[in-house]
Structure formats: C-alpha cells, structure tokens
Structure 1
Amino acid sequence: MPNTIALFKQCVPLLDEVYKLNALTGILDGAQELARQGSSANELILPKMTLSGLADYDRNTGYAAGDVTLTTETVRCNYDRGRMFQVDSLDDAETAAIAFGHLSSEFIRTKVVPELDAFRMAAYASTAGVGKTTGTLSTGQAVINALRAAHAAMDDGEVPGDGRVLFITSALKGAVDDLDTTASRAAMDLAASVIVVPQSRFSTAITLGNDGYSRTGADINFLLVHPTAVLQYQKHIVPKVIAPEQNPDADAWKFGYRTVGIARVLDNKLSGVYVHCKAS
C-alpha cells in the first residue's frame, strides 16, 4: 500500500501546475522558501524583521548603535478544505492514478480555483484598515478617477509604485478601454499587472459551505494590491488513498484531496491594499 500511495502522490506536482495556470490570485503567491512548515499541517513559521531608524551622527562618538531583530511567527492557516473522491475499481493502481489525475485536475480548475480566488479577494477586501471606497462607477472616466485615487492613496502610504496588481471587473476595464485615450491607457498602466476577475469571485465576503461557496458581501469594482502587502501561501495534499479491497462501501478507489493555505494582509502593510466596492 505505501507504493500505491506514493504513486498517487506523484499527481501533486500536476495539481500545483493546474492551480498556477488557472488561479487569478496566484500572482500574489509568496516565495515558498520564506515559509517553513509548522508543527501541524495547518501552521506556517514566518520570519519577521525589526530595524531601528536613523539617528544623528556624532563627530566624536560616531554612529549611534542600532538593533536588527529577527524573530519568527507561527501563523495558523485560515483556509483548510478537502473532498473525498471515489472512482470505480480499475485494472491496477497505475490506471487508477491516471484517472485520479484527470479527475482532480478538473476539480481544481472548476471548483478549487474559483473558491480560492473568491476567498482571497474577500479576505483582503474585508481587512480593517485597508484603503476602501464605495460608490457607483457608471462611466469610463469615473473608473479612471477612482483608479487614480487608489494609486494616490498608495503613494501617500509610501507603497512602492512598481509591482502593483490591479484586479478589476470586465465591465469596468471595458469602459476604460473604450475611451481609447492617452489618459485611459495611462490609468491602466499605473499597475504592473491588470487581471480581469469574474464578479462571481469578486465580493467583500463569502461563506464557505459543504458544496463550494456563496457570496455574502458587497460586489467589488476593483482591488489594487501590492504583493508585499499580503501573506499568501497554498499547498495541495493527497494524504489518503484507499484501495477497492479496503473500501467497505464500494468496489472503488477512494482518494482524499486537501488544500491548506493562508491569505491575509500583513499588519504593517495595510496601505498596500485598496478596494473599491459597489454602492449597496
């Protein structure tokens, strides 16, 4: 049985690739090497650095001493979801693993990724202290004005100008594109990346249920994020494989799929997130 489990776990890199190709928020994933596994599957250990600010230079004593403090913080993942699959008995474990690969890939593309995107958007948009504006954007010029205000707020918060990611609805991006002016193009170019998001994944709050998720918050018009402002990490696990002869319920293979991750705005980087919501 250990060899069989290893065979199915070979599918995990494929699942990661499907996720990377389809997740709209994947662009915000942090560097994997910065996080270490905690004592349990739903914990991460993250580095935190604190630096002293500048001080006056003294001609007699020279530089003022400063401190660099490097600590670690253990955080609990705020997203932990799973599903048990069942596939009718096949000739051998290798054939079953191939079937599982196709099944789980489609599951990630159509079920996991939309929910993950929606969860992350809602998590960032609902964080207390981030930039937030509510209003109706009925024209392309109104969208441009709102985008400029968002970038100005980040500029005032000393958020780096490069690397900002703009998530926006198709309708609003189209309204700006239709203007086809130097000003409209410049407004979109303020962001390093522009990603169109379906409204179904774009809400300030969602409820995770036993068959996916439902939107329970306000519709988001656009979300501007600097990647350094958020903590985003995800992993896919195939922890359990049950062969047909060990399945008391059916003559079928059973595969446990689990995805664990975290999506949150860093406490000292709140100015790196700005959300514009529809008027309720």
Structure 2
Amino acid sequence: MAINKIEYSKKFQQSLDKLMLVSSTSGWMQDNAKNIQYDGGDEVKIPSIIMQGLANYDRDNGFVRGSVTLKYQTMKMTQDRGRTFSLDAMDVNESNFIATAGNVMGEFQRTQVIPEIDSYRYSKMFALLKAKTRVTEGYDPDESTILGKLEDDIAKIEDVVGTNVELVIIMSSITRKILSDSLKGARRLDIADFKQGEVITKVRVFDEKPLIITPSDRLKTAYKINDGKTTGQEAGGLVADTAAKDINWIITPKSAPIAVSKQDKIRIFEPNENQGADAWKLDYRRYHDLWIPDNKLTAMWANTK
C-alpha cells in the first residue's frame, strides 16, 4: 500500500490551499522557561524556600529561633513525540514541486504540532488545578451570569496574590462572545499589546487582563494521546477524551506556567543523502512538557462546563 497519496494535476495552482487554523496560543508560556537549568535527562528539580512567621521579641532572651527549609519539586519531561515522512523524488517533481519538504513540514507543524501542543498544555493546567481544588465546575456560560462568574474566579486569585500580579485569561472565542454580549457596550473590553517572546501582538483585554483566545477544541479537560502505532491510533495526535468537558476559562499569572522544550527539531534528507530510497526523508521530533510549581497553583483558577 502506498505511503503517500499525491494527487497529480494537469493545471497547477502554485500557492498551497492551506487550512484556516489559529496559530499557537500558548507560546508565551515558553518565556517562563528561560530561568530553568535543564542539561538533559527527563527531570528538573525546582527549589523553594519555606520559613516560619514572626514571633514575639523577648527583651531578656532576645529572638525566638526560626528555621529555614529548602526543598525541591521534581518536574519530569513526559512528551516525546515525532513523525517521519518519505516523499518520492518523482512525487515532488510531478506535483509541480508543491509537495516539497518545506511545504510538507510547514503544514505539519501548523496543522498537527501546534494544535497538539496547545491542547496538551491547557489540559495539563486543568489537571494540576483540579488536583488542588482550584476549579469551578458545572457552569454553562450565559449572558446574564458570565460576568459575575468570571469576576468571582478573578477575586479568588486576587485574594491570594493581590492586584499587582499580571493575570491572563485563556478562553475560547465562543465564551468571549458571550462575555462581550453581557457587557452591552460597557468599556471593559479593550485592545492592548501582548508580549510573547520577542513578538508583540494585539489582544483583547478585560479589565486590563489579556484574553488569550483559543479554539474551543483545544480547551478540553482531557485528551487521549495517540501513539501512532496501535490499531485505531495510527492517525496520531490528540483526541478529546470521551469524558472530557469544555474549559470555559483558565486564569493564571503570566509567569506561572512553564512550557519547556528540550527538542524541537526538523531533519530533512535529500534523495541523494537518503540511503533507503530515492526519496526525501523528513523527520520531526518534539520533546516537551508543561510545568507549574506547587506554590504557583494557588494563584490560578479554572472554570469548566
């Protein structure tokens, strides 16, 4: 059975008919990994310091002795994902060079890698918050109640960290539309700059909090990770778990989620380099995960249907 299905045409349209998809919405989390010391292996230990509070000063005996505890939280890398493709040299030629290595790998990253990475990160955030009971469950967004619900969840965070921590709100465009309708023209939704690495984009903000608008199919509470080999999982990627619920929003300090990539690599071998076939060999590997230190989870909240 043929590996690829390359359709040949008598008349060629030079530009590729691309799927209309949202680019990565979680890339800003990678900025938080710059202070992580990662030299290999599958673990990183993140330190935290625990100290006792103030005690009464005794004018005869002086200070009450306190203690300092340094402990490490172990974070593991769990997502080692990849694919290899083979493009026969004639397939590339007879498709009028539309099926080139650059086009194929560019589309693979845009249509497969980016949605999977986003989906994994948001579902992982939910799972960590669920384990810490930092979740409001069972709410169906409604124009008459959404504003109060969102403000309640924000208040739970600000009660812990105050109002000076930069918060971001991750939600779907469908939920954002309900929120917008509920405001009825009140100037609480605006446009502002949002820095993601070296790139600055324009995003909507609610009460000065950036809204990270994400496709709803990437905002599920749980996904099944296909291994690409087992029967029924050959398509690879992530599929929403049958018991998954929709995530209405996740509220987090911008500095809390740490998205780590050890490997984000493309290898392209030309037919003359490929010893196995007269074909282009295309390899992609992504070794990554998302981490949130325990002490940051108290400053986050999720809300689900």
TM-score category (smaller protein): 0.7 to 0.9
Q: What corresponds to 1:52 in structure 2?
A: 51
Q: What corresponds to 1:31 in structure 2?
A: 32
Distance 1:47 1:59, change over 3 A: farther
Q: What corresponds to 1:215 in structure 2?
A: 240
| Matched AA of 2:49 | T
| Matched AA of 1:87 | L
Distance 1:38 1:75, change over 3 A: farther
Q: What corresponds to 2:303 in structure 1?
A: 276
Quote how far apart the aligned CAs of 1:139 are. Answer: 2.5
Is this contact kept in 2: 1:49–1:68, CA < 8 A? no
1:173 aligned to 156, 173, 176, which one?
176
Distance 1:145 1:46, change over 3 A: same
2:283 aligned to 249, 256, 267, which one?
256
Quote how far apart the aligned CAs of 1:70 are. Answer: 5.8
> How many angstroms apart in 1 are the aligned matches of 2:258 and 2:61?
41
Q: Which moved more, 1:106-115 or 1:126-135?
A: 126-135
Between the two proteins, what is the percent identity of the paired residues? 24
The structure with more radius of gyration: 2
Q: What corresponds to 1:182 in structure 2?
A: 186
Q: What corresponds to 2:253 in structure 1?
A: 226
More helix as a share of residues? 1
Unaligned runs of 5+ in 1: 1-20
Quote how far apart the aligned CAs of 1:64 are. Answer: 6.0
Distance 1:68 1:240, change over 3 A: farther
Distance 1:176 1:224, change over 3 A: same
| Matched AA of 1:84 | T
Matched residue SS, 2:161 = coil
> How many angstroms apart in 2 are the aligned matches of 1:160 and 1:53?
25
Normalising to structure 1: TM-score of the pair? Answer: 0.74
Please report the RMSD computed on the Cα atoms of aligned residues, expressed in angstroms.
3.3
> How many angstroms apart in 2 are the aligned matches of 1:235 and 1:109?
19
Quote how far apart the aligned CAs of 1:275 are. Answer: 1.5
Aligned residue pairs total 249
Is this contact kept in 2: 1:144–1:184, CA < 8 A? no
Q: What corresponds to 2:147 in structure 1?
A: 144
Superposed, which structure 2 residues align to 1:103-182 within 5 Å? 103-127=104-128, 128-158=131-161, 161-178=164-181, 179-182=183-186
Quote how far apart the aligned CAs of 1:212 are. Answer: 1.3
Q: What corresponds to 1:192 in structure 2?
A: 209
Distance 1:230 1:62, change over 3 A: farther
Matched residue SS, 2:298 = helix
Is this contact kept in 2: 1:38–1:44, CA < 8 A? no
